Structure formats: structure tokens, C-alpha cells
Amino acid sequence: MSREFLKPNSVEVPGQDTSVKKTTQLLDRGQWANKIEFLLAVAGTLVGLGNLWRFPYLCYKNGGGAFLIPYTLFLLACGIPMFLLETAMGQYTSQGCITCWRHFCPLFEGIGYATQIVIAYAAVSYIVIQAWAFFYLFSSFSSEVPWASCRNTWNTGRNANTSANATTPATEFWERRVLGISQGIEEIGSLRWELALCLLLAWILCYFCVWKGVRSTGKVVYFTATFPYVMLVVLLARGLSLPGAMNGIAFYLYPDPTRLVDPQVWMDAGAQVLFSFGICQGSLTALGSYNQYNNDCYKDTFVLCLVNGGSSFVAGFAIFSVLGFMSYEQGLPISEVAASGPGLAFIAYPRAVAMMPLPQLWAICFFVMVILLGADTQFVSLECLMTSVTDMFPTVFRRPYRRELLLLCLCTVCFFLGLLLVTEGGLYFLQLFDHYVCSGNNLLLLSVCQSIAIGWIYGADNLYDNIEDMIGYRPWPLMKICWLYITPAVCLGTFIFSVVKYNPLKFNKTYIYPTWAYALGWSLGLFCVLLVPLWMIFNKQQSLTWKKWQLFKIFTFFLLTCGRDKDTWE
């Protein structure tokens, strides 16, 4: 088999004499210089902040070592099969996550648009975490880390450990100095100009790392995808050497099999696998599209999934060894110092660092790691969006300097949209977008749609033929069974359970959002999924319109022909 549907890098110039066809050469789409660049780019986007601050928290919360059972089952039933499916789609067509559907199943092209909406939300919101990390990084270059004491202008005087309503210096630095957080989402407040400058810095770095496509991204990932592992090993070694570290490790891994009967544990495992493996976010298809046609994407799938899962597991040791130390120093149970999400990276861990010798050094190491973990994900999000647009309009954007201008416009628009998230009420919006749009139910439903489209409509056997044509052999038959039955059943069941057991999002476990905020979150989330049926309707309507137009042309031609024949006969 060959990829006849791919077009050459040239276009006909309109308005020219048909006897002399003049073509204009388009810029080459580009490919990874070698396999290592692809592996590092995918590993960089998969091994992100979710591995650092979400997986360890879910593990201890949902039964310690017992949580690895549902996590592994979801990994085998959904993560690996969907990873292979998306990577193979991109590699076989050499197209992004929208235009690749035109070969496999045009009726489901709406899935491609839906994934781009999800990743666009993520590109706007998650880079704010880099802005926070830059702020902390710059603050670390001081004689005393500013979150270590309560002798600062932003402290309230309620920091004393003897106070019943005391807050820690790290908490006040985060809430009052960094965020200036308001009382609720209704109070957007003023722009935090220091965070806005850090956000601008993050976007400038992203622009210059992505502006030449895979030719520049492929070189940048040699540093951004590997250096976080160096930092993780350094922090792990330091954490394990601290007193109380083993108590933290035991708390992290101690198995509680009784938690396995709780359906919430299984839902958490499924959502974590889909989110951390980049399923239905378009990035795997986009990155795979730059592979050589004969690249063994089947083996790559297992290597990258092992790296991602292993990184999550090891990150738990680095985090909980430090939390065990903090528990030991303060005489508090680990359950009271453990946290998830921003609370871990910007309150708990800085608080622990402040208790160590040379806190500035360890703070710099930690926040450099956070910045690079977020940067890789951001690079790939931008590359995915750029790939989709340039593949849809190659004659427009695959010309000199067009890509750079498009990327500049995209980064500028995203920067200005992201300014909402660095206001005093920005964190409320960030968590709303994260909960309802960028993870959870959206990814579950899109996974079901994707499995049905490829497994049943295009045909799992046909995709097996495509993969065999690329790599020379057919994958394990279990992959096909997962696409056809297991993955859609598991994802649909998890979605139904999440709806039945739905609990409204609460900020910091206490603040209840107003009704309009929940409506906004659900609307933004459902809009992504509704693009799938809306595209089907549009596609069918477009097909009917085209058929009517063809009938009209035939009918008109018939009338004109009959008229000429009549004149000739007379």
C-alpha cells in the first residue's frame, strides 16, 4: 500500500493558461531528524506537572500501592491502545489531528476539531503555571527565601504557630504576595502585573522554541525533556536523605485493598491515564505525523507508556520523601501536610524547602524542573495547533515566513486571553477550565467516539493493515479487541458513573462557585464534545448541497443542449 492521498508540495497558480501549468513550490512540511527527537518530544509532553503533583496525591488518597491495580488496568485497556491508535493515524497520513480524519473517517472529522478546542484551552491556561514558577524562581535569588518567615509586608500577623487560626508563611506568600487572591470568582480584581510579565516571558520562550516547527522543537527537547529528570533524581536523592523520609514513602505506598471497592478510585485512575497520556488531545497525532513512514510506532508506544508511568511512580518518591520530612519536623501527620495540584508545588514543597539547609539551591532546582515540565507540554500544544492549521491550509501557510507570523498571532492572542488568569480572581477560572474542559468527562466521551470511528466504521482490521504496511508486522490482537470493545465500554462506564456521582467543583475544598460559573464550565466542556455531532450534520448537509449543485449543473446543461439542438434542427 502507499499513501496516494498525500499531495506534492506544489500548487497550480490560478488564472494561468491551462496549456501551461505553472506551479509554486511550498515549503517542506518537515520531519524529525531522528527517532530520538520524536521520543523526547512525546516523553516531554507526557511527563508533565500531572506526574509531579497529581499522580502521587491520587496514589496515597486511593489506597497507596493498591491504586496501582486500577491504574495498570486502565493503562492496558485504554492508555496503550489509544496511544497506538492516535500515533499511527498521524504517522500513516503525515497529517495533523484534523485533516487525518479525511482519510480515515470524514464523518468524524469533528473529533479533530474537538481535540483542538481542548488543547487550545490547555495552551491558554497551563502556561500560567509557568508564570507562577518563574515568579518563585526569581524570588529564590534572595538572602532568605521570602516564604520562610512572617517578617514581610504581605504577612497578616496570623502566622504564629500558637494561634488557633494561624496560616503558614508559605501559604500567605502564595495567596497574598503571588496571587493576591480575591474572595470569589465574581471578584476578578486587578491584574497582577508581575505575573503578567512572567507570563509574557513564558510566551516569548515558547515562541522562539517552536517558531521553526519540528526543526527547532526537535533540538530544544534534548534539553527540556531530559533536564527535568536530572532535577528529579537530585531532588529524590536529597529527599531520601532527610529524616522522616521513609515515613513519607510508607504513607505513599502502604496498600489499602479495601479502597478498591470504591468506584471513585477507579474513576480517578481512568481520568489520570487519559489525561497524563495525552489521549484525545491531538498531540500524539500531530507528533506522529512528523515520523518517517516506516518508523516502528508500535514499539514506541510501549517504550513511551513505560516511561510515563514509571516517571509518575518515581515522582511520588521524590514528593513524599520531602513531605515525610516536613511531617517529622512539624510533628504533624502526613495527611495534614500532603496536597495536590498548585497547593503541592507552591505551598507544601516550598515550605519543606525552607526547612532544609541551603533552601535557595533546592528551591531553584525545584522551580526550574517545574518550568521545564510545563514548557515541554506547552511546546507540543502550540506545535499541535500549528500543525492542524498549516495542514488545513498548506497553500497559505507553507510559504516563507507565513508560519512564523501565524505563530506570532497565535501566541499574542493566547497571551491576552491568559491575562484573565493572572488577575486576583484568575485561579478560580483556571480551576474551572481545568475541571470541566481540559480533563475528565470530555476526554472520556471523545475516547468513545474515536474508538467507534476507527474500530467500527473505518475498521480495526483496516488500521491493522495500515500499521503492517508501515512497520512490517501486525500488532498484538488484543489492541484490536480494545479498540472494538474494551476501551469504549470502560470509558463510557466511567463517564456514566461520574455523572451519577457528580459533585460540583469546590475551590480549596470550601468555596462553592456561583451557578453561572458551573453553567459556564459545563457549556465550555460540552461545546467540545458537541462539535462531533455538529460536524456530522454539517458534513451531510454539505454533501447534499454538493449533490443538488451537481444536479442543477446537469439540468442546466441538458436545457442548453436541447435548445441548441432545436435551433440546429429548425
Q: Name the 3-class secondary structure at 480.
A: helix
User: Quick one: average pLDDT of 250-273?
Assistant: 84
Neighbours of 222 (CB within 10 A): 14
Question: Per the annotation, does 308 bind a ligand?
Answer: yes
Neighbouring residues of 524: CB distance < 8 A, sequence distance ≥ 6 = 121, 433, 436, 437
For residues 499 and 267, the answer to whether their CB atoms sit within 8 Å is no
Residue 169 amino acid letter: P
* CA–CA distance, 145 with 125 (Å, rounded to integer): 27
pLDDT at 565: 53
User: Quick one: average pLDDT of 318-344?
Assistant: 79
457, pLDDT greater than 90: yes
Residue 26 belongs to a domain: no
User: For residue 448, which of 474, 487, 395 has the smallest C-alpha distance?
Assistant: 487
- Cα atoms found within 13 Å of the Cα of residue 278, Cβ hemisphere only: 34
* CA–CA distance, 440 with 238 (Å, rounded to integer): 34
pLDDT band at 164 (very low <50, low <70, confident <90, very high): very low
Burial of 344 by CB count in 10 Å (0-12 exposed, 13-18 middle, 19+ buried)?
A: buried
List pLDDT tens digits, range 84-116. 999 999 999 999 999 999 999 999 999 999 999
Residue 33 belongs to a domain: no
pLDDT band at 328 (very low <50, low <70, confident <90, very high): confident
Question: Per the annotation, does 565 bind a ligand?
Answer: no
What is the percentage of the chain residues whose pLDDT exceeds 90? 38
List pLDDT tens digits, range 523-532. 888 888 999 9
pLDDT band at 336 (very low <50, low <70, confident <90, very high): confident
- Cα atoms found within 13 Å of the Cα of residue 260, Cβ hemisphere only: 12
User: Quick one: average pLDDT of 341-347?
Assistant: 77
Burial of 237 by CB count in 10 Å (0-12 exposed, 13-18 middle, 19+ buried)?
A: exposed
> Partners of 11 in the beta sheet?
24
Residues in the chain: 570
Structural domain harbouring 84: 38-569
* CA–CA distance, 77 with 564 (Å, rounded to integer): 67
* CA–CA distance, 490 with 502 (Å, rounded to integer): 18
What rounded mean pLDDT belongs to the chain? 85
Question: Per the annotation, does 508 bind a ligand?
Answer: no
* CA–CA distance, 522 with 7 (Å, rounded to integer): 40
CATH number at residue 530: 1.20.1740
Neighbours of 396 (CB within 10 A): 12
Question: Per the annotation, does 51 bind a ligand?
Answer: yes
Please tell me the chain's helix, strand, coil percentages from 3-state DSSP, rounded to the nearest 5.
Answer: 70, 0, 25
Neighbouring residues of 510: CB distance < 8 A, sequence distance ≥ 6 = none
Residue 24 belongs to a domain: no
* CA–CA distance, 213 with 290 (Å, rounded to integer): 10
Place of cell 468506584: 263
* CA–CA distance, 201 with 130 (Å, rounded to integer): 9
Q: How many domains does the chain have?
A: 1
pLDDT band at 332 (very low <50, low <70, confident <90, very high): confident
* CA–CA distance, 395 with 26 (Å, rounded to integer): 7
pLDDT band at 514 (very low <50, low <70, confident <90, very high): very high
List pLDDT tens digits, range 1-31. 444 444 445 444 344 444 444 455 777 888 8
Residue 23 belongs to a domain: no
Residue 17 belongs to a domain: no
Question: Per the annotation, does 159 bind a ligand?
Answer: no
End-to-end, the C-alpha distance of the chain in Å comes to 57
Residue 191 belongs to a domain: yes
Q: Name the 3-class secondary structure at 448.
A: helix
* CA–CA distance, 153 with 286 (Å, rounded to integer): 48
User: Quick one: average pLDDT of 487-513?
Assistant: 86
List pLDDT tens digits, range 537-552. 888 777 666 666 666 6
Burial of 287 by CB count in 10 Å (0-12 exposed, 13-18 middle, 19+ buried)?
A: buried
Neighbours of 481 (CB within 10 A): 15
- Which of 64-68, 366-370, 404-408, 515-519 is least confident? 64-68
Residue 431 belongs to a domain: yes
pLDDT at 15: 45
pLDDT band at 274 (very low <50, low <70, confident <90, very high): confident
> Partners of 506 in the beta sheet?
512
> Partners of 23 in the beta sheet?
12
> Partners of 10 in the beta sheet?
25
pLDDT band at 269 (very low <50, low <70, confident <90, very high): confident
* CA–CA distance, 357 with 353 (Å, rounded to integer): 8
Q: Name the 3-class secondary structure at 281.
A: coil
Residue 6 belongs to a domain: no
